Amino acid sequence: RFRSIARSYFRKAHGVLLLYDISSQSSFLGVRQWIEDIKAGAGACASPPQAHSALFCETSAKDGTNVVEAVLHLAREVKRRADRGSAGSVLELGIPPRAARGCCRT
């Protein structure tokens, strides 16, 4: 149900956090569909398949590890792009290789 209205939110979003549960394969595999939904919501500005880059950050909702840092990093990136005058540009999305433990690796 949520996916049907989500695209309208993505159309005006300046940033998106994609989250998945490492203990659930279906949760992880669902990230690819969310990426497609985000690109569809962004319209023609979205980048072509296989040309993605993204930040990867390991967090834990259970113990709070890196949750605040991930949100702050996204906020700083959105502000940095807005300050450069590229707020309308679309961040490329993708699923990068697993990064070392820590937050917000590129």
Tell which residue, 54, 63, 51, has the closest CA to residue 17. Answer: 54
Given the structure tokens 């967090």, which residue do they identify? 59
Which stretch of DSSP H or E encloses residue 6? Answer: helix 2-11
pLDDT classification of 99: cutoffs 50, 70, 90: very low
Q: What is the pLDDT of residues 64-87, one digit of tens each?
A: 999 999 999 889 988 988 888 854
Which pTM was predicted?
0.62
Task: Taking residues 24-39, report their average pLDDT.
Answer: 89
Question: In percent, how much of the chain has pLDDT > 90?
Answer: 14
Cβ contact 26:33 at 8 Å: no
CA distances from 17 to 34, 48, 67 (A): 10, 20, 11
